[in-house]
């Protein structure tokens, strides 16, 4: 069986050494570098399946490096940081991270997170591109339908469908209300217009397991909304 390739990008030498000792024992091919320059070199030579990326690198932001990775190809990203509050997690997810862990961490938990991200990436590769999972439901973009966990049709208005399609095409990206209105409805948002917020509230009642604590269509205070498939089950089979 081919060993999955992991690239560690962290300027803490003890952490790199620990992971380079621990992860190969569990079946991974591992390389480690201390900065963005080393990361770029290994992306070309090593071709990792997943990058374990520190946020607070010397000289370059891990968020910027995450955006660089996602701009190249579909490589998994697990971000590490000493700060684990919600705004930082959202920034990491918006930059393209598939998961986020705060330091210090238990190596066994990191191993479980790595395996989970790699599994989801494999599911995405096998899934039809037109079928996207939103929380409890699956959206068929070609058929313009959505079904619940029992396979029953979920009623969507045309504008709700268009809004979901925009989120499906921009996963883990923070989108302002203005952007959502232009992309989904081809018009500018008028001052005082709360139609986007109203539609998202209605969609949450349809797709979220707990609409009062949304985990799929998440509000980013002062900026807009982000669709977070990484907290879900990625794309449907």
Is domain 131-231 annotated with CATH 3.40.720.10?
A: no
Q: Supply φ then ψ for residue 184, to 5 degrees.
A: -85, -35
Please name which of 4, 10, 38 lies closest in space to residue 23, comparing C-alpha atoms.
Answer: 4
CATH topology of domain 4-126: Rossmann fold (3.40.50)
For residue 156, pLDDT over 70 is answered with: yes
Q: How many residues in the chain?
A: 237
Task: Locate the domains of the chain by residue range.
Answer: 4-126, 131-231
pLDDT tens digits for range 69-128? 876 667 899 999 877 667 777 777 777 788 888 889 999 999 999 998 888 777 666 555
pTM: 0.57
Q: Classify residue 155 by its DSSP letter.
A: -
For residues 72 and 137, the model is more confident at: 137
Torsion of CA 83, 134, 73, 58, to 10 degrees: -10
Angle of helix 195-207 versus helix 177-185 axis, rounded to 10: 80
């Amino acid at each position: 069986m081919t060993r999955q390739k992991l690239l560690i990008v962290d300027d803490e030498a003890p952490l790199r050494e620990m992971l380079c000792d621990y992860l190969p024992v569990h079946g991974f091919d591992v390389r480690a570098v201390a900065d963005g320059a080393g990361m770029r070199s290994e992306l070309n030579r090593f071709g990792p399946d997943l990058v374990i990326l520190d946020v607070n690198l010397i000289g370059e932001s891990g968020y910027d490096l995450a955006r660089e990775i996602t701009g190249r190809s579909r490589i998994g990203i697990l971000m590490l940081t000493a700060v684990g509050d919600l705004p930082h997690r959202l920034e990491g997810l918006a930059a393209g991270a598939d998961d986020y862990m705060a330091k210090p961490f238990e190596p066994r938990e990191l191993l479980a997170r790595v395996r989970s991200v790699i599994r989801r990436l494999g599911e995405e590769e096998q899934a039809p591109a037109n079928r996207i999972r939103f929380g409890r439901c699956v959206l068929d973009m070609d058929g313009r339908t959505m079904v619940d966990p029992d396979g029953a049709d979920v009623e969507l208005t045309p504008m709700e469908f268009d809004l979901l399609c925009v989120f499906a095409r921009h996963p883990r990206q923070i989108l302002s209300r203005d952007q959502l209105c232009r992309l989904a409805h081809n018009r500018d948002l008028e001052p005082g217009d709360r139609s986007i917020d109203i539609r998202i509230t209605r969609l949450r009642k349809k797709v979220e397991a707990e609409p009062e604590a949304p985990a799929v269509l998440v509000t980013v205070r002062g900026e807009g909304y982000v669709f977070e498939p990484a907290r879900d089950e990625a794309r449907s089979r």
